[in-house]
């Protein structure tokens, strides 16, 4: 029996005892005994009432605390966590943070044609191509940040910048990509081959420290900025200065996305630099031999590069072409202009499509991932890639690459690539010791990657 039931029973007994006792007793002694019992019962009733009041008060306090906690939870917006390859945490007012990373591991084999030529780098090689980790996020007021470092050879910053966004305008300050074409701006997580087109490395496309702005007007995207050198080169006393810009147009017509663009890069090499060189590996990074190389171009004062780009995505099919020219201004010699370009076509064997956003290609969103019992996304690609470093007395050789690739994306953020390349070289005498002026190599490359 609980406290309230005890209290009711004792109260009823107290009310009944005097009447019954008086009716049944005529002696003073018995009356005194009854009065004593009644007094004891009254004391017990008072004690029980006090205990009951204490219990009621505690229950009210607990209820009040629960209400206060619930009100506080309603007053503060809850933290939202979404999974996009890694947890993305969003708070009230525009705060967010997300870990970023990528691990790319390559396996390559290089063989010369004819096989009697002894070329450095022949045979099997492998390496961790990229090992990057960091964070990115947003701050109330339209601000954002990104900090990514590569850990392959010490710690080297790749991206380190702050942004401000207001509607169609975005301003970026720090180490970030310049605007030198579609192939360069698309992430290495999403390229069709293990390496980008040859001209991107050869012409020195890279992230630099600078201030830039992008602005979207209907189907047009305007991008431009001023830059110094890469953050790793600033300690070496480099003081080059460049202006970079890009204009792109994208529209969907009859379920086909069309992209057109052009870019411009003008760079003053600075007082500390009087030479520049362009060179390239055989479209794999684990081989350190440069099969095409201008060596130092002395007397260089300025660098100018400009490019054109076009792409289309129609369902499972895509095609993209891009060209770039690089001109070096020299103080005492003729000014050479070099050329690079590629054309590529690809097709998904599965019901998937190549993604595009913000003027660049993005990773595929797998329609039928193996995590759901599907086959993942399967894609085949072909490409012709040319780099010509011969002009105005500079003989750096020419490279023509005929390429094919197979890509399997079992789930979002995970990819496996296999690609074959036949590279033909001309005007390459003495660039690689022991190699003739004209020769070829075959390259078989494979990559396993995860990026988030």
Q: pLDDT value at position 16?
A: 47
Output the tens digit of pLDDT for each of the chain's 452 residues. 454 454 454 444 444 444 444 444 455 676 677 677 777 766 766 776 666 566 555 555 554 444 443 444 444 557 888 887 789 999 888 899 999 999 999 999 999 987 778 888 899 999 999 999 999 999 999 999 999 999 998 899 999 999 999 999 999 999 999 999 999 999 999 999 999 999 999 999 999 999 999 999 999 999 999 999 999 888 766 678 999 999 999 999 999 999 999 999 999 988 666 789 999 999 999 999 999 999 999 999 999 999 999 999 999 999 999 999 999 999 889 999 999 999 999 999 999 999 999 999 999 999 999 999 999 999 999 999 999 999 999 999 999 999 999 999 999 999 999 999 999 999 998 898 888 899 999 999 999 999 99
In order of 132, 170, 213, the CA distances from 136 in angstroms are 13, 16, 19
The H or E element that residue 402 is part of is strand 394-411
Rounded to whole angstroms, how far apart are CA atoms 161 and 174? 4
Q: pLDDT value at position 322?
A: 98
Strand partners, 144: 138, 163
Name the H helices within 269-423. none
DSSP annotation of 3: H
Q: CA gyration radius for the chain?
A: 38
> Domain boundaries in the chain?
3-75, 83-451
- Count of other CB atoms within 10 angstroms of residue 415: 24
Question: Which residue reads 């005007």 in tokens?
Answer: 427
Name the H helices within 227-316. none
CATH classification number, 83-451, choose in 3.30.70.100, 2.40.160.10, 3.30.1310.10, 3.40.50.2000? 2.40.160.10
In order of 360, 434, 439, the CA distances from 337 in angstroms are 27, 28, 24
The H or E element that residue 290 is part of is none
Angle at 194 between CA 83 and CA 229, to 5 degrees: 85
In order of 102, 320, 353, 354, 443, the CA distances from 379 in angstroms are 21, 15, 9, 9, 20
Rounded to whole angstroms, how far apart are CA atoms 223 and 163? 14
| Residue spans of beta strands (DSSP E) within 269-316 | 275-276, 279-280, 292-293, 297-298, 300-314
């Amino acid at each position: 029996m609980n406290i309230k039931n005890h209290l009711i029973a004792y109260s009823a007994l107290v009310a009944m005892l005097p009447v019954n006792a008086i009716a049944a007793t005529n002696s003073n002694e018995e009356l005194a005994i009854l009065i004593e019992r009644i007094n004891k019962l009254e004391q017990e009733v008072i004690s029980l009432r006090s205990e009951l009041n204490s219990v009621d008060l505690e229950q009210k306090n607990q209820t009040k605390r629960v209400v206060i906690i619930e009100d506080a939870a309603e007053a503060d917006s809850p933290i939202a966590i979404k999974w996009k390859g890694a947890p993305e945490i969003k708070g009230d007012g525009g705060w967010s943070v997300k870990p970023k990373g990528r691990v790319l591991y390559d396996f390559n084999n290089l063989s010369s044609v004819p096989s009697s030529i002894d070329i450095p780098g022949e045979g099997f090689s492998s390496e961790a191509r990229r090992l990057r980790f960091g964070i990115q996020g947003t701050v109330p007021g339209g601000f954002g940040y990104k900090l990514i470092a590569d850990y392959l050879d010490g710690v080297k910053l790749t991206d380190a910048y702050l942004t401000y966004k207001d509607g169609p305008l975005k301003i970026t300050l720090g180490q970030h990509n310049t605007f030198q074409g579609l192939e360069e701006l698309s992430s290495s997580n999403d390229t069709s081959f293990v390496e980008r087109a040859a001209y991107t490395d050869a012409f020195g496309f890279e992230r630099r420290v600078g201030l830039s702005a992008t602005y979207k007007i209907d189907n047009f995207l305007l991008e431009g900025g001023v830059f110094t050198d890469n953050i790793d080169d600033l300690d070496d006393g480099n003081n080059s200065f460049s202006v970079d810009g890009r204009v792109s147009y994208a529209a969907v017509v009859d379920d086909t996305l069309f992209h057109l663009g052009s870019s411009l890069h003008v760079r003053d090499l600075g007082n500390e630099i009087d030479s520049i060189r362009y060179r390239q590996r055989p479209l794999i990074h684990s081989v350190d031999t440069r099969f095409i190389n201008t060596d130092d171009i002395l007397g260089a004062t300025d660098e100018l590069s400009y490019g054109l780009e076009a792409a289309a995505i129609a369902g499972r099919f895509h095609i993209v072409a891009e060209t770039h020219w690089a001109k070096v201004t020299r103080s005492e010699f003729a000014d050479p202009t070099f050329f690079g370009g590629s054309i590529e076509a690809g097709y998904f064997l599965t019901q998937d499509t190549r993604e595009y956003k913000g003027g660049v290609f993005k990773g595929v969103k797998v329609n039928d991932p193996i995590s759901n019992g599907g086959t993942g996304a399967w894609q085949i690609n072909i490409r012709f890639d040319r780099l010509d470093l011969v002009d105005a007395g500079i003989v750096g050789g020419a490279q023509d690459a005929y390429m094919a690739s197979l890509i399997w994306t079992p789930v979002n953020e995970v990819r496996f690539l296999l690609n074959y390349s036949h590279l033909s070289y001309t005007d390459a005498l003495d660039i690689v010791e022991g190699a003739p002026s004209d020769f070829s190599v075959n390259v078989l490359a494979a990559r396993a990657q995860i990026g988030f």
